[in-house]
Chains A and B, each alone.
Chain A
Amino acid sequence: MNDAVKEMEPTQKLKFYQKGTFTVGNRLVSEADRTVQASIERSNAITCGHRACQGCGEALGARYVVDAAMRATNNNLIVVNATGCLEVFTTPYPETSWQVAWVHSLFGNAAAVATGVAAAMRVKSRSEVRVLAQGGDGGTTDIGFGCLSGMFERNDDVLYVCYDNEGYMNTGVQRSSATPPAARTATTDAVGDEPGNVFGTGKNVPKIAMAHGIPYVATASVADLHDLERKVTKAMSIHGARYIHVQVPCPLGWGSASHDTIRLARLAVESGVFPVFEAEYGVITGRRKIRNRVPVVEYLKLQKRYAHLFKNGDAPRLERLQKMADRNIAEFDLLSHEGNV
């Protein structure tokens, strides 16, 4: 790089780089401004040969999260994993894809086991070793919810990450309390008066986590790697109970093309279906603004789990889904471009 360019650098915002501002890496910015994933030195916490489906969003999301957490903790990390796809596709006995200290517990107790690991580290005075618990939406929002709430309430020193693919994918796509309305699953068939999952059910765990008043809660998307890594890094700089909820598209369960995984995650964010924000001690401190707003149908129509809405031209339900996104946009202030991005 020549001198003139070097001189200009301090005044240049990342925005200056017209291409690669949103890409994983960028040869025009310093190594420090690139993502962990751009580095040849990334730890590749889940290595090749795992048995996730083609285009698996969960495999991708988990590698993003764990690699960033490993970078943030200088590899002093123990991961506790609930039962679910993430455990099954990485670790069919006796093989494993994990390149990190990794414990598999049960479907419902990852948060409790992680609390125990953190306690053990404290007893052994290994303050440098940090604990990350992770699981699917079923393991988090349903069966593991009691353990998780306990971990929050006691403010245990654990980062819990939920990979939300909006259903029990590992056992054949059953409904969970994170399955969105109208989505078809094996247990919410697209038949009858209310085809697919019923409107007005389910729970919003990021907001419930915030209600515990814990130090840090965030949502993140595999479509915005810079934002996701920043949040994991920030979470690892904090002690106490922390929670990150990552939406991870599932080609098999959603009936989408394997190449559309990141595109779907992006459309979920850009339509307002999946609001991306962060909160400290129960108060929202940041939101990722929508760049190019798209109607919800753009997101829905790429997924066969919503095909019934289009086959019969179900305008009322499409309308309700659009309203839900509109409400997210209003509630989290996702459109106006003042304030934090």
Chain B
Amino acid sequence: MPQHPFAITLDVGSSLANQTGSWRNERPIYVDRLPPCNNACPAGENIQGWLFHAETGDYETAWRVLTQDNPLPACMGRVCYHPCESKCNRADVDSAVGINSVERFLGDQAIKNGWKFEAPKKESGKRVLVVGAGPSGLSAAYHLRRLGHKVVLQDAGPKPGGMMRFGIPKYRLPREVLDAEVQRILDMGVELKLNAKVDNIQETMKAGKFDAAFLAVGAHIGKRAYIPAGEAAKIVDAVSVLRSMEGEEKPLLGRKVVVYGGGNTALDVARTAKRLGASESIIVYRRTRAKMPAHDFEVEEALEEGVTMRWLSTIKRMDEGNITIEKMELDKTGFPQPTGVFETLEADSVVLALGQDVDLSLLNGVPGLTIKDGVVEVGPNMMTGASGIFAGGDMVPSERTVTVAVGHGKKAARHIDAWLNGKTYVPSEKHDVATFDKLNAWYYTDAPGTVRPVLDTVRRQSTFDEVVSGLDETNALYEARRCLSCGNCFECDNCYGVCPDNAVIKLGPGNRFKFNYDYCKGCGVCAEECPCGAIAMVPEEI
């Protein structure tokens, strides 16, 4: 027994003996919620995940995380309509993070620095045929190759890229960028066969001893509409015009060009016609601007470039040098109805941009398929009714965008891989979405979005230079750092700092934190003050 001073009977002890964790009726737990951008990305990119690396300036790691899902960031950073940005929580603080522009910056960095994909660690010995070297086929080829399969990528055209080359104009996607990203996929050991249309899929598979096939032939046949026309009338379709832009002979459309339709393709052609020297490029569309399927920013850019629009009009007939249009008006249901009011417009040519059909001839004779509305039905695993034949992109029912196509390629690759191994691919369960109300916005400073420099209009009307330019290092870093890191810990130390009971253990850079439940009283301050909603309070079982 140690001697105690007068009136003291007990040894001094630390309060650590007092485990206040027993007071708790709720416990905090760390969670990873699904950021709304990731949730909205048709290609399933881990956007918050790659921005996390980009914001430290580690662009290569950022690019590697990005390309785990999408092998085409430089293309996608130019042509994707970024549904991620429409869902970005930052819009509730000031404006959405420029995800698309940072993606493009990373893609361009990769090209500049020659970053490569790694070849697969081991070969599976399986052979997969991918038909169509567009975004969906390229994505599938990349993912299948990463999984160790031997991939042959076969395309009917003279060059790879599909609609990214033969549909999207150069001023939106420079061809060097596309070429570089395609080459990097081929460098992994993907075999590319060009000018090699597949006429009969079953025969081609048999001849090449393929274990499975992924079809992504796209929709390359321009829809026609019957327009009464005189002998000399020049009526062409948008797809052929855009395709011929890639050849030696540029299309001859004349000085006055009328484009019929209201989608993005109509705008692409009208803007291309301007650049080819047309003095007038007019879009005729039967409904209103608000109803145009084209994206509003593209309509805006086209108007800036001098393209004119005739909304609520249909083309009745074409004669030499002019067309007759009829004014329409919307009925109560919002459907356009003829008014009997006609007008004549000068026109050297009419380009039909009324949608595209799929050439499904390669599927002739394949049993078990379901074809509806000109596209092939696929199951949730992207497999058609024929065993081992999968399909994606524009030839299956879906929204026809490059990003959706890339997403299909990835999804199909995972299912094909499982199918080849006699298994079923089960995607991991989605976390709850980190909606704005889960964040503590106090901790974010106001920082407005970076506006991408836009080529001045004069140059745009005459050249095919890229319209929207990219970010430089300074503003890319700035833009990346605008990310709120929704639902995922970014190691701000708030929980560690605000706990009145020191019940949070800091594990050091990259390792996040853990709770010390011996002392956590369950007050919930940490969860409340976590900026990004990465802590949840759950009832304690008592």
Complex: A59 Cα to B519 Cα, angstroms: 14
In the complex formed, the residue of B with least CB distance to A90 is B15
Nearest A residue (CB) for B482: A18
**B490-542 with Cβ < 8 A to chain A:** 490-494, 496-503, 506, 508-509, 516, 518-519, 521-525, 527-529, 531-532, 537
Q: Is the CB of A17 within 8 A of B481?
A: yes
Q: B506 to chain A: which residues have CB within 8 Å?
A: 40
The distance in angstroms between the C-alpha atoms of A38 and B502, with both chains bound, is 12
State how many residues of chain B have any CB contact under 8 Å with chain A.
62
Known A-B contacts A21-B445, A54-B521; the reply to A27 vs B56 at CB < 8 A is yes
Let me know if B16 is at the binding interface, CB within 8 A.
yes
Any B CB within 8 A of the CB of A225: yes
Contact A27 B528 (CB under 8 A): no
Say yes or no: A261 contacts B14, CB within 8 Å.
no
Give B389 Cβ to nearest chain A Cβ, in Å: 46
**Chain A contacts for B447, CB-based, 8 A:** 18
User: CB-CB < 8 A to A207: which residues of B?
Assistant: none
- Contacts of A191 on B, CB cut-off 8 Å? none
Q: Are B500 and A55 in contact (CB under 8 A)?
A: yes
Determine whether A50 belongs to the interface, using a CB cutoff of 8 Å to chain B.
yes
- In the assembly, what is the distance between CA of A24 and CA of B513, in Å? 14
How far, in angstroms, from A94 to B12 measured CA to CA in the complex?
5
A52 within 8 A of B: yes
Stretch at the interface among B213-221, B238-246, B276-284, B471-479: B471-479
Task: Let me know if B445 and A259 touch, CB within 8 A.
Answer: no
Interface on chain B toward A: helix, strand, loop, or mixed SS? loop
Q: A30-47 interface mask toward B, CB cutoff 8 Å, 1 = contact, 0 = none?
A: 000011011010001011
B264 on interface, CB distance cutoff 8 Å: no
Task: Select from chain B the residue with minimum beta-carbon distance to A97.
Answer: B15
Could you mark each residue 138-165 of chain A with 1 if its beta carbon is under 8 Å from any beta carbon of chain B, else 0?
Answer: 0000000000000000000000000000
**Residues of A close to B537: CB separation below 8 A:** 259
Q: Is the CB of B13 within 8 A of A258?
A: no
Known: A22-B445, A49-B14, A49-B17. A262 touches B492 (CB 8 A): no
Q: A107-144 interface mask toward B, CB cutoff 8 Å, 1 = contact, 0 = none? A: 00000000000000000000000000000000000000
Residue A5 at the B interface, CB < 8 A?
yes
B-side contacts of A23, CB under 8 Å: 443, 492-494, 497, 531
Q: Which residue of B lies closest to A24 (CB)?
A: B497
Using Cβ atoms and an 8 Å threshold, which residues of chain B touch A50? 15, 18, 20, 501
Contacts of B20 in A (CB 8 A): 48-51
Which of chain B's residues has its CB closest to A266's CB?
B442
CB distance from B224 to the nearest CB of A (A): 51
**B373 on the interface (CB 8 Å rule)?**
no
Task: Establish whether residues B16 and A48, one from each chain, have CB atoms under 8 Å apart when the complex forms.
Answer: yes
Q: In the bound complex, do residue A225 and residue B490 qualify as a contact, i.e. CB atoms below 8 Å apart?
A: no
Q: Is the CB of A59 within 8 A of B481?
A: no
Chain A residue, CB-CB nearest to B447:
A18
Which residues in window 259-302 of A have CB below 8 A to B? 259-263, 266
User: With A and B bound together, what is the CA distance between A261 and B501 in angstroms?
Assistant: 13
- Flag whether B57 is at the interface (Cβ < 8 A): yes
Residues of B close to A19: CB separation below 8 A: 443-445, 481, 483-485, 490, 492, 531-532
What is the CA–CA distance of A266 and B112 in the complex, to the nearest angstrom?
A: 47
User: Which B residues are in CB contact (< 8 Å) with A262?
Assistant: 498, 525, 528-529
Least distance between B210 CB and chain A CB atoms (Å):
44
B-chain residues with CB within 8 Å of residue A17 when the two chains form the complex: 445, 481
Given contacts A19-B490, A258-B523, A258-B525, contact A38 B497 (CB under 8 A): yes
Given the complex, which residues of A lie within 8 Å of B481, measured CB to CB? Answer: 16-19, 28
Interface: A95 (CB within 8 A) = yes
A24 x B493 contact (CB < 8 A): yes
A25 in contact with B14 given A17-B481, A19-B484, A261-B523 (CB within 8 Å): no
Question: Which A residues lie within 8 Å of B490 (CB)?
Answer: 19-20, 27
Query: Which A residue's beta carbon lies closest to that of B499?
Result: A60
Chain A residue contacts of B531, Cβ below 8 A: 19-20, 23
Secondary structure call for the A interface: loop
Q: Given A23-B492, A54-B523, A37–B497 Cβ distance below 8 Å?
A: yes
A315 at the interface (CB under 8 A from B): no
A5-B56, A27-B490, A258-B525 given as contacts; is B444 within 8 A of A48 (CB)?
no
Decide if A47 touches B16 in the complex (CB within 8 Å): yes
Instruction: Give bound CA distance, A45 to B328, whole Å.
Output: 78
Q: In the assembled complex, which residues on chain A have CB atoms less than 8 Å from the CB atom of B500? A: 52, 55-57, 59-60, 63, 261
Interface residues of A in 59-98 (CB under 8 A from B): 59-60, 63, 90, 93-97
Residues of chain B lying within 8 A (CB to CB) of residue A22: 442-443, 445
Are A94 and B13 in contact, CB atoms less than 8 angstroms apart? Answer: yes
Point out which of B12, B478, B499, B502 has the most chain A C-beta atoms below 10 A from its C-beta.
B502
B8 cross-chain contacts in A, Cβ below 8 A = 94
Please measure, in the bound complex, the distance between the C-alpha atom of A263 and the C-alpha atom of B527, giving whole angstroms.
12
A93 touches B10 (CB 8 A): yes
Which chain A residue has the least Cβ–Cβ distance from B485?
A19
**Which residues on B sit within 8 Å (CB–CB) of A4?**
57, 473
Contact B16–A49 (Cβ < 8 Å): yes
How far does the Cβ of B36 sit from chain A's closest Cβ, in whole Å?
16
* Interface residues in B412-459 (C-beta closer than 8 Å to A): 442-445, 447
**Smallest CB gap from A223: residue in B:** B442
The docked-state distance in angstroms from the alpha carbon of A16 to that of B478 is 8
A311 at interface (Cβ–Cβ under 8 A)? no
The CA-CA distance from A259 to B536 in the complex, in Å, is 12
Contact of A38 with B12 in the complex, beta carbons under 8 Å: no
The answer, among B445, B473, B474, B496, for a CB contact under 8 Å with A37, is: B496
Tell me if A96 and B502 are in contact (CB < 8 A): no
Complex CA gap A22/B442 in Å reads 8
Q: Is the CB of B518 within 8 A of A48?
A: yes
Cβ–Cβ < 8 Å partners of A34 in chain B: 493
Are B492 and A1 touching (Cβ within 8 A)?
A: no
**Nearest CB of chain B from residue A58's CB, rounded to whole Å:** 8
Give Cα A173 to B497, complex, Å: 27
* B55 and chain A: residue at smallest CB distance: A28
Sample of 4 more A-B contacts, CB < 8 Å, known A47-B15, A47-B16, A51-B20: A37-B493, A38-B493, A49-B16, A56-B500
Q: Contact residues of B with A, CB < 8 Å?
A: 8, 10-20, 23, 55-59, 442-445, 447, 473-474, 477-478, 481-485, 490-494, 496-503, 506, 508-509, 516, 518-519, 521-525, 527-529, 531-532, 537
Task: Sort A-B residue pairs by CB-CB distance and give the 3 closest, nearest first.
Answer: A25-B493, A24-B497, A259-B524
List 16 interface pairs A-B (beta carbons < 8 Å), by A numbering: A5-B57, A17-B481, A18-B481, A20-B490, A22-B442, A25-B492, A48-B503, A49-B17, A50-B501, A52-B501, A57-B500, A96-B14, A258-B521, A260-B528, A262-B528, A263-B528
